[in-house]
Every structure is written in C-alpha cells, then in structure tokens.
Amino acid sequence: MIWIKNDTLQGLISSISMVKFSVVITVYNKRDYIVETLKSVLAQTYSPFEIIILNDGSTDDSETEILKFDDDRIHYFTQENRGAGAARNAAIKKARHPYIALLDADDYWYPHYLETQKRAIEKFPEASVFATGMQKEMNGRRFNNIYSADMSESEIEKFDYFEASLLDTVLTSSNMVLFHRVFEKSGWYDPSIKSGQDTDFHIRLGLIYKVVFSKRISAVQINREDSLSNRTKTLAEKMDFSAYESFEKNNSPLKRFLDLNRYSLCILAKLSDDRAGFEKLYRKINLRHLSKKQRFLLRQPPRILRVLAKTKKGMEKLGIRWGTFK
C-alpha cells in the first residue's frame, strides 16, 4: 500500500484502485453482542476488507466468542484495559487499509453498508469523512435517525457536520468511514474523556471536513441500559465543550450545536442535583437556540424531570420516539 502525502491526489488513486476498508472494532465486556456484530461484518456484500478487533481487557468471555470465528480477514489483539478512547486509537493504528470503518462491538451493519460507503467514496473521492443513515434501537423498538440537513436532493451529498447534526448526529462510531490521514489533522480520540470522547472527536472533524452522507439506512445503533453513556450520571464524567468556546464565537452552526449539547448536560445536572454545574452550563447557552419545549424542561425541578424520563422510556416501548433535539 502506498500512502498518499498530498490529500488532493487521493481522488486519483481511489479512482484507479479498489477501495479497501479496515473495519475497526474495540471490545470491552461485549460477550453477549460481539457475535452478531461480527456476523454483520462478515455478511457484507462488498468484501475487500480486513477486521481489526482489539480486546480492551475484557473480564467476561468476549475473547472466547471472538476466537470461535475462523476467517483470515480477522486480526485479533488484546491489551490491558485502557478505556474506550485509548483502545480505539490503538486499534486504528493497526489498520493496513486507507479507509477506516469504525463499528461498536454491540452495534451492527446491514449487508449493504460497505457497498454504500464505497459508492460515496467513488462519488466524492477527494473527501475524507463518510457516513450513512442509520437506525437507533431503544427499548426493543427501532427508529430511523432524524437529521437537520436538507437531504432531499440526492442519495449522497456533502454537509456541514454541525448544521446536519442539530437533531441526531450524522456521525457515530458505527456509521462512519474515515480516510486514514484525518487523524494527522484532527488528532486522535481523547483518552482522558470518560464519556463523550466520540462527540469531542466529531467536533474536531467537523471543524476541518465536510461529511459525505448517504441517506440509505445501513447501520443500527443499539441503545443499551448498560452502555457507558447510560451509566454516566454526573457532569464530572462528561466533556464540557470548553475547548471549543473560542471557535464558536465565529461559527454559528457550531455554537448552536454546542448549545444543544449543553442543554442535554443541564438536564443531566438537574437529575443529579448538581446546581453549580447546571448554572455554569446554563449561562453559556443562547436560549434562542433552544425550542420552547427545551426551555420549559430546563425550568422544571428534578422530580418532574425524573417522571418525564420514565415516561420517555414508556413511549419508546410503544414505538413513539421522544428524545432528539427538537
């Protein structure tokens, strides 16, 4: 493989060679899910790929389940537990192909996922960040993600990450393909962030690159009760977006995106009775960026928010989604 020093040549190389993917999966205690995740990769209709699996110090039988697979495209590695961000960095560095296809160990792809990403790369060979439409499974129900960009023109288009992600984010760790050189410009995942390292990384990508987005639903993200994001209950474990305050002054889409995320953190602060944390974040929000419903929720006491949170779960079980930024 010849690595390209000039990103402007990327399109020429892609147009005359086969698009090859390195599928990167990090695993920590995913024994009950990793089998279906791997099956979804091996079932892809487009096959020029390798699979990098890094076991980040699992204490369950994840390794036993992984080693049941006999496929020479699978390259398995282990390390002592270092956390989600550090594990993903280490796994990506083992990739041998130019396009990095990330996948969480408890999510899965539809068989056409890599084929869809390949078409996007062929349409925009000069680009570096690619994503597809996806579904979110919550409480046994599946919902199509909702995006804020106008995606009615064609199946595959380029978008500003912040403008397109004011409802659901167009980038997740299971629907995103990156040209390997993006890490030189945007930096790597921040291992010091316990919960929110994905959002932090996506912001840095969005400040540099447009996202080539395919509307075709190609991946499923499972919202599990035991996931890290659902287990994180305090602001101290979340990123606070302070690193991007200088950028938002001259970037209105970024400012609105950050204010919506601050709103979510304010709700978390109220639910954890963190009055000081709530006030610190609330002062940074331009309330015009929030809907009437969001402003109403920010005024509610914790006991009311807890009741509404339980109601939200009940609605999802009935097939009614309530939770995007709207």
DSSP string, 9-49: GHHHHHHHS---EEEEEEESS-TTTHHHHHHHHHT-S---E
pLDDT band per the 50, 70, 90 thresholds, residue 15: very low
pLDDT at 259: 97
Superfamily in which the 7-229 domain is placed by CATH: Spore Coat Polysaccharide Biosynthesis Protein SpsA; Chain A (3.90.550.10)
Strand residues in the chain grouped as ranges (E): 21-27, 49-56, 74-79, 99-102, 108-109, 129-138, 141-144, 156-159, 176-179, 211-223
Q: Is 100 in a helix, a strand, or coil?
A: strand
Write out pLDDT tens, residues 64-81: 999 999 999 999 999 999
pTM of the full structure: 0.88
Q: Is the pLDDT of residue 60 over 60?
A: yes
DSSP string, 289-303: GS-HHHHHHHTS-HH
pLDDT at 137: 92
Compute the distance between CA of residue 274 and CA of residue 238 in angstroms, rounded to an integer.
13
Write out pLDDT tens, residues 185-230: 999 999 998 888 999 999 999 999 999 999 999 999 998 765 555 4
Q: Is the pLDDT of residue 98 over 70?
A: yes
Write out pLDDT tens, residues 101-152: 999 999 999 999 999 999 999 999 999 999 999 999 987 788 999 999 887 7
pLDDT at 229: 52
Token representation of residue 21? 């993917």
Q: Half-sphere exposure (CA, 13 Å, Cβ side) for 268?
A: 22
- pLDDT mean over 73-98: 97
Write out pLDDT tens, residues 250-275: 999 999 999 999 999 999 999 999 99
Q: Is the pLDDT of residue 174 over 60?
A: yes
Q: What are the residue ranges spanned by the domains of the chain?
A: 7-229, 233-317
pLDDT at 310: 79
DSSP secondary structure code for residue 210 in this structure: P
